[in-house]
Structure 1
Amino acid sequence: MKAVIMAGGEGTRLRPITETMPKPLVETDGIPTLEHIFRLLLRHGITEAALTTRYLGDMIRAREGDEYISPAGERLELCYFEERDPLGTAGGVRQAEPFWRGGEPFLVISGDAMTDADLTAAEEFHRQKGSAVTVLLSYAPDPREYGTVILARGGRITGFSEKPAWQRALSGTVNTGIYIISPEVMEQVCEGEKCDFAADLFPSLLEQGVPMYGLMCTGHWCDIGTAEAYYAENMRGGRRNIFSRLGESHIDGSAELDGVVVYSGVTVGALAQISGSVLCPRCRIGGGARICDGCIVGEGAVIGEGAILLPGTLVGSGENVGDGEICGELDRGGKPTPVPGGLRIPPEPAACFRLGAAVGAALGHGSIGAVGCSSDLSELLRSALLLGIASVGCTAYDCGAGSAAMAAYAASVLEYDLMLHIAERDGLAPEGGHAELLIYDGCGLYPCRELERRLERELTRTHPSAGGGRVSAGISAEQLYRSALVRAHRDMYDRRGAAGGIGDFSICLFGEGEEVFLLEDVLAELGYRIRAKRDADVAVYLGAGGISAELLDRRGGATRADLWHVLTLLTADSILQGGVTSVALPYASPACLARLAHRLGARVLRYGSCPSGGCESEARRLSARMPELRDGSFAAVHMLALLGENTLGELCAALPDFCFAEGSFDAERMCIPPDCGAIGQPDGEGYRIEFGRRGRVRVVPDGSMYRLYADAANEEYAAELLELSRERLRELTRNIGTEDGSGDGVQVKNSDGRAE
């Protein structure tokens, strides 16, 4: 069997190490990662290999030449195929056709894989199964940076998901980037055209019914694509310091090194203290310098005497840090952390400026609007955010003060690429709380996974100022929202004729945000009688952020409608009275709502959070045109128009009995199981657990917790199903992972149930 090694990646997440060397030459355990792969191939009798190169490919050829000779004297013949333009993983391998052409299967392996996988057993498995493609698999409790794979019994692959968001991570079984491929498969890749294995070729093969199988690696595997993974791989097995075997370094005897990766040609002066860091070739560390955990000093960089690099500082290749200089930032809880729909950061202008620059860099050139809560601190944070966006060349629009609901609506009607909402939480003073940034795309929803991944990368970088950016006055999100609410109610009135409109009842509003006051003004403008809570016929409650609405109608006996009963009524009215033929619903919504829409002749489209590859785009665009199905204030004005004809009790009497309850399960460490069926049936976003006639629960992974949505006939059943689901998750998380947070020691079973 021959081997093709994919060695063309830029390794951007390993910078500054890869600023001056290609990723395959990055050293692990003192030698280039590529040479670990060479030794693996030779152990399994592979004596010919081709390398597909692009970024700094000449350095690989100069280092490795046309033949590699192992310490045991074994010889591996090498040849090279250079990509002038990026062709993707499959496109690059297709270019190497002169090497692998013939009838025999060949191996494809990533140039950044550290593994002792049994390639001989994998080749035998490939032949026994009659597979066109065999994918070697591993297990990752956090699979977001990998391609995930879904297997049927016997190991046949039934699905792929490339680098999914938490909510879409349906399996912890991940693609290692090691394949055995039958040559005829590559005929589907057009020569010279960009094509990726996981994103393009493999899904196409699945659609055609081409047999593809997955085999779990029984040994070690690590993708060293991030600085954290690279460092952990070097320290694997309790190693203290790792020194390059390619050349000497000069470390003063009084210097203290603990957990340091040292390349060749490094100089460390007297009394220097270095821990948990990477020192790239020919860098110089002055006497008495202190380098803290998580730092990387690039090739040829100079750290002056007595200088201090604070934790996580990256010093680029050739850069200088002066004598006594302190470089980096103190961690005051300042790293952005994910929250549903966005990020949490310290309520400080500097942090917001950096975050704005990261969002702008992730978007590239474009336009971004920003809305903030109506407080002095929020206004300051919004200004810093806008300046950060403009600093990287984007156009930033200040859309004034307003709520998250207002920002989401503005995002769906204004032609900006993104809309941001910034607000302080848990106290107005910086020392008293944190700030929360919510991000909306042009549909008023959280953006796609591709943008999220770019933002994750940009958050780890510094962003020099770029020309062309500016801050401009945008359209007021609050005024836009107010006008839309008035227009929505009047449209309902016109649509229903004399029978609809302003009913003969009084109302009160209460809730948790500024949307309450705006909606009260709008309803007063429309002619409704606003009363105190105890005197009103109809009470409207708006939830936090203005996203949800609940109603209580005291006419004809008190009737309460929660959010989902309200949305069910509005969906029916939109179809019957509004002529709607398609409805967009979130995955986490009651089954009876979709059944009702189907029964009334409407098509139901589903959408969720953070999709990949443009999927669900039609559903997301449709949801933007129906704000009453996802915004509490719009839902309220539509419902009040309906109550002009009937009481809430009369409207709800036509609905089936159901209860849609939300809950959560906090996981100490989120673990996606290797078997996608361990929790329940994968279903668009998360898993669906069926409990027979009692109902079902949707389980959605979301960072540090699982979100639970019980769909049952009544509250008692819903509470019972939520607790049963929590118990299943307790058992699952008890059996997956280890106390130290690593993936080592996880027992993975193959598709036949046997432990690997």
Structure 2
Amino acid sequence: MKAVILAGGKGSRLRPLTCNKPKPMVPLLGQPCMAYTIDLLQRSGAGDIAVTLQYMPDVIRGYFGDGSEHGVQIAYFEETTPLGTAGSVKNAQEFLDETFIVISGDALTDFNLLAAVRAHREKGALATIILTRVETPLEFGVAITEADGRITRFLEKPSWGEVFSDTVNTGIYIFEKEVLEFIPEDQEFDFSKDLFPKLMQNGHDLYGYVAEGYWSDIGNLAQYRQTQFDMLEGKVNCAIQGFRVAPKIWMGQGAQVAEGVTLEPPCYIGRDTVIEAGAHIGPYTVLGVGNVIKAGASLKRTVVWNRSYLGDGVELRGATLCSQLNLQSHVACFEGSVIGDACSLGAKSVVKPQVKLWPGKRVQEGTVAHSSLIWGEKLEKSLFGLYGVQGIGNVDMTPDFAGRLAAAFGAALPFGASVAVACDHDPFSSLIKRALAAGLHSAGVNTIDCGAATTPMLRYAVRCVEAEAGIQVRRLGPAGDDRVLIECLDQSGINIDKALERKIENAYWQEDFRRANLAQIGRNRVFTGLQESYAAELLQQVSVDAVKRERFRVAMQYDPMLWGRFVPELMERLGCKVSVLDAREASQGELQNLVSTGIFHLGVRFDDNGEEIALITDRSQMIERDRLLALQTLIQLISGSDKVAVPVTAPSIIETLAAKFGALAVRTKANPRSLMEPLRHQPFPMLYDAMYMLVKVLDTLALSRLALSELVESIPHFHLLRRDVPCPWEDKGRVMRLLIEELRDETVELVDGIKVFKDGGWTLILPDSDEPMFQVFAQGVTEQLAEELAGMYAQKIRDYQKTSVRG
């Protein structure tokens, strides 16, 4: 007698267990599920086996090979396109020349298959379905049989109203080879849906054999765990690898259990697993191969696969852990949580009940995982990045998330406070803005809806309406980039400080939301005329008549769909003649080409959010990044500012310019709040307001009677380079420590990152807060020296990533 094992299933309902392996390879007490199926077939006299494959076929082939190690002979038949249950068996027709059994490779049973085969032959049946009785038949095919075993009624996955029996199809069949004539070739064809109705229509009786014994289809994560608990209880007649060292306690070869470890039955300790003194292995715990369990760990009703590290004091309750995990000290995972392969959980992090982490995820120290992590790379305690909170739209940045974030923010504000809210023109941003408003209202905080507005406009609005805070939502990056950013501002219109960020994060992770009573629910009002008010205030900062007299001709590149009439009307009030290139259609080089015609005094390009600007001089020189920063500083100094704030990455000529005007240059961390805070008394933050920068450039040119190229040439020359060096998140801290140790005798500055001063230049090593990389800035008296400094420290970062943790 031969057999066919159906082993093509993906096991979607078992994810993340099946992200890296097919369902038949999911382990049960240290062995793949399919190994128990092969053992049952071998004991039943069916040692010649065909295995049908589709999903991750090489994983199954690689483990079982030709079957000789398991006492059987295996031939493999792979589907290139889905063929259904019956179609996959038809694909193995050349192998099937006698009576054969069909059985699933991803279910566990101890049925007496020989007794079923005898009944099949006694009836002279063409097809026999092995049935069993279950308490809840909704997920299975239900059958009613006559006294002689003939099936009179069959219904696949009924509702409760259609349940006419508790006798269900187990997916195990006994067929004569002639049944293959009823299955078409190379098309999708199922047993229950297609073959069985076809047989009955052609006058062939279907027989059912009600088997006694254990059967589990392992249809979901809860059933996966329960199946192993049943095995530990002895409910399944199957061979368990290892030795029984005490009643209902099994241990694999090479397992090491120190004195002082508590083992409560039933439990299973796989081979080469090491458990240190003081650990507590509670009932219904399953440990696979090569795990390390440190002192003080406590596990109950938990399944752990292979080669994982569980640190001191780890607490697992009803969890399922895949392979090669790293759980640092005092991690806790609770009922129904599932951790995929190669995840890393930082010390004192918590995975809440029913939360699932897909393979390769990292949970930061002290973080509480309230929801499943599927798409993102890591789950951090820090919600806030460099500019605010960002995520993928409708993946991790959802209305539900936004509402909870706003409720946490609202809890940090007094009852009755007002928050100005705005968004860009994107409909999803508008959806998130409304969710934020709802969350704030639930916390007893009012909102002032500023409509569609840029962040600089919102900064102005917060001050204008004297709100306690502001929130702006916008899409990030180019078209096709699905990231969404939520930016939070304080009452001065600058980004909130770290202390408030942490307060919001703590409230969010602890779900410590303030819920106002119905009399205190927040209200919404609308700020009308924001753009007009913002433009009027911009014009208050310049000499409009002087600018008008110059009749500047300006080439501009922006998205007119987003900005509407705002930019043309602003430039018209300044007496400027403007030519516009649509940023959606024109390349960056086209603006430079347009200015090079000699018709224009300058060119201007700004981003959709009105924060970033680039200038082109009358001589077609592009001014952006570091040279733009120097120009912004110079304009502030010319305008009479006695203080300028620049990031630690700025060129050293900033101090030279400030000294020339008798002003103070303040170096800060390279983030928006740090740069705006020293100048919060100024009407607009020049480094983060493109419109303000534009009108101040025109004002400076008009009052000085200089061309833009002449103004730029007055800035001393410098050589500043930037290099990005990839570095995994988990290596950043070690790289910084090793750099500090190496540079302890050098002249360094630790305002933001590590700034190293050398003769003729300096280098700044700055860990990126949002990406797994370092930014290296280097300035030298010559370009060659800057290149050498940047290259030297970029290489050090690469080298230190290769250094072992102990090194």
Q: TM-score scaled to structure 1, two decimals?
A: 0.51
Written as runs of structure 1 = structure 2, the 5 A alignment for 1:62-461 is: 244=278, 250-252=282-284, 268=301, 285=318, 290=320, 303=335, 328-333=371-376, 335=379, 339-348=385-394, 351-352=397-398, 353-358=400-405, 360-361=407-408, 364-366=411-413, 367-392=418-443, 394-410=445-461, 415-425=466-476, 433-458=482-507, 460-461=509-510
Q: Report the counterpart of residue 612 of structure 2 in structure 1.
A: 548
Cα distance in 2, alignment partners of residues 320 and 732 from structure 1: 39
Written as runs of structure 1 = structure 2, the 5 A alignment for 1:555-570 is: 557-558=619-620, 560-562=622-624, 565=627, 568-569=630-631
Structure 2 residue 675 is the aligned partner of structure 1 residue 619: no
Closer/same/farther in 2, CA of residues 662 and 459 from structure 1, 3 Å limit: farther
Report the 3-state secondary structure (helix = DSSP H, G, I; strand = E; otherwise coil) of the residue aligned with 2:765: strand
TM-superposed CA distance for 1:406, in Å, is: 3.4
Closer/same/farther in 2, CA of residues 273 and 421 from structure 1, 3 Å limit: same
Tell me which moved more, 378-387 or 352-361: 352-361
Structure 2 residue 753 is the aligned partner of structure 1 residue 707: no
Closer/same/farther in 2, CA of residues 664 and 485 from structure 1, 3 Å limit: farther
Q: Is contact 1:349–1:381 with CA below 8 Å preserved after alignment?
A: no
Report the 3-state secondary structure (helix = DSSP H, G, I; strand = E; otherwise coil) of the residue aligned with 2:796: helix
TM-superposed CA distance for 1:391, in Å, is: 4.3
Report the 3-state secondary structure (helix = DSSP H, G, I; strand = E; otherwise coil) of the residue aligned with 1:657: coil
Report the 3-state secondary structure (helix = DSSP H, G, I; strand = E; otherwise coil) of the residue aligned with 1:357: helix
TM-superposed CA distance for 1:539, in Å, is: 1.2
Cα distance in 2, alignment partners of residues 387 and 277 from structure 1: 41
Written as runs of structure 1 = structure 2, the 5 A alignment for 1:516-535 is: 518-532=566-580, 534=594
Closer/same/farther in 2, CA of residues 407 and 265 from structure 1, 3 Å limit: same
Q: Report the counterpart of residue 631 of structure 1 in structure 2.
A: 689
TM-superposed CA distance for 1:525, in Å, is: 3.9
Report the 3-state secondary structure (helix = DSSP H, G, I; strand = E; otherwise coil) of the residue aligned with 1:450: helix
Closer/same/farther in 2, CA of residues 308 and 539 from structure 1, 3 Å limit: closer
TM-superposed CA distance for 1:374, in Å, is: 0.7
Q: Report the counterpart of residue 133 of structure 1 in structure 2.
A: none
Q: Is contact 2:296–2:312 with CA below 8 Å preserved after alignment?
A: yes
Structure 2 residue 656 is the aligned partner of structure 1 residue 595: yes
1:307-332 deviation line (CA, Å, top 9, x unaligned) = 5657789577xx999xxxxx953523
Aligned residues: 474
AA in 2 matched with 1:365: A
Closer/same/farther in 2, CA of residues 255 and 648 from structure 1, 3 Å limit: closer
Closer/same/farther in 2, CA of residues 729 and 475 from structure 1, 3 Å limit: farther
Report the 3-state secondary structure (helix = DSSP H, G, I; strand = E; otherwise coil) of the residue aligned with 2:474: strand
Q: Is contact 2:406–2:437 with CA below 8 Å preserved after alignment?
A: no
Tell me which moved more, 630-639 or 413-422: 413-422
**Structure 1 unpaired stretches of 5+:** 1-237, 322-326, 747-756
1:606-630 deviation line (CA, Å, top 9, x unaligned) = 3335699xx99961524x5452344
TM-superposed CA distance for 1:638, in Å, is: 1.0
Report the 3-state secondary structure (helix = DSSP H, G, I; strand = E; otherwise coil) of the residue aligned with 2:741: coil
Report the 3-state secondary structure (helix = DSSP H, G, I; strand = E; otherwise coil) of the residue aligned with 1:643: helix
Report the 3-state secondary structure (helix = DSSP H, G, I; strand = E; otherwise coil) of the residue aligned with 2:667: strand
- Fraction of identical pairs, as percent: 17
Closer/same/farther in 2, CA of residues 441 and 506 from structure 1, 3 Å limit: same
TM-superposed CA distance for 1:636, in Å, is: 0.8
Cα distance in 2, alignment partners of residues 586 and 641 from structure 1: 25
Match of 1:487 among 534, 537, 544: 537
AA in 1 matched with 2:611: I
Cα distance in 2, alignment partners of residues 489 and 595 from structure 1: 30
Closer/same/farther in 2, CA of residues 456 and 442 from structure 1, 3 Å limit: same
Report the 3-state secondary structure (helix = DSSP H, G, I; strand = E; otherwise coil) of the residue aligned with 2:717: coil
Bigger RCO of structures 1 and 2 (CA < 8 A, at least 6 apart): 1
Report the 3-state secondary structure (helix = DSSP H, G, I; strand = E; otherwise coil) of the residue aligned with 2:515: coil
Q: Report the counterpart of residue 582 of structure 1 in structure 2.
A: 643
Q: Report the counterpart of residue 98 of structure 1 in structure 2.
A: none
TM-superposed CA distance for 1:648, in Å, is: 1.5
Q: Report the counterpart of residue 201 of structure 1 in structure 2.
A: none
Cα distance in 1, alignment partners of residues 391 and 327 from structure 2: 22
**Structure 2 unpaired stretches of 5+:** 1-271, 356-369, 581-590
Closer/same/farther in 2, CA of residues 386 and 552 from structure 1, 3 Å limit: same
AA in 2 matched with 1:665: V
Please give the root-mean-square deviation of Cα atoms over the aligned residues, in Å: 4.9
Cα distance in 2, alignment partners of residues 611 and 310 from structure 1: 37
Q: Report the counterpart of residue 749 of structure 2 in structure 1.
A: 682
Cα distance in 1, alignment partners of residues 767 and 419 from structure 2: 29
Q: Report the counterpart of residue 538 of structure 1 in structure 2.
A: 602
Cα distance in 2, alignment partners of residues 282 and 660 from structure 1: 51
Structure 2 residue 724 is the aligned partner of structure 1 residue 664: yes
Report the 3-state secondary structure (helix = DSSP H, G, I; strand = E; otherwise coil) of the residue aligned with 2:567: helix
Report the 3-state secondary structure (helix = DSSP H, G, I; strand = E; otherwise coil) of the residue aligned with 1:354: helix
TM-superposed CA distance for 1:723, in Å, is: 5.4
AA in 2 matched with 1:420: I
Q: Is contact 1:662–1:710 with CA below 8 Å preserved after alignment?
A: yes
TM-superposed CA distance for 1:597, in Å, is: 2.0
Q: Is contact 1:515–1:545 with CA below 8 Å preserved after alignment?
A: no
Tell me which moved more, 674-683 or 371-380: 674-683
Closer/same/farther in 2, CA of residues 524 and 281 from structure 1, 3 Å limit: closer
1:108-134 deviation line (CA, Å, top 9, x unaligned) = xxxxxxxxxxxxxxxxxxxxxxxxxxx
Report the 3-state secondary structure (helix = DSSP H, G, I; strand = E; otherwise coil) of the residue aligned with 1:590: coil
AA in 1 matched with 2:725: F
Closer/same/farther in 2, CA of residues 621 and 705 from structure 1, 3 Å limit: same
Closer/same/farther in 2, CA of residues 470 and 583 from structure 1, 3 Å limit: farther
Structure 2 residue 551 is the aligned partner of structure 1 residue 504: yes
Closer/same/farther in 2, CA of residues 658 and 633 from structure 1, 3 Å limit: farther
Cα distance in 2, alignment partners of residues 665 and 266 from structure 1: 41
Closer/same/farther in 2, CA of residues 280 and 393 from structure 1, 3 Å limit: farther
Q: Is contact 2:723–2:790 with CA below 8 Å preserved after alignment?
A: no
Larger C-alpha radius of gyration, 1 or 2? 2
TM-superposed CA distance for 1:373, in Å, is: 1.9
AA in 2 matched with 1:373: D
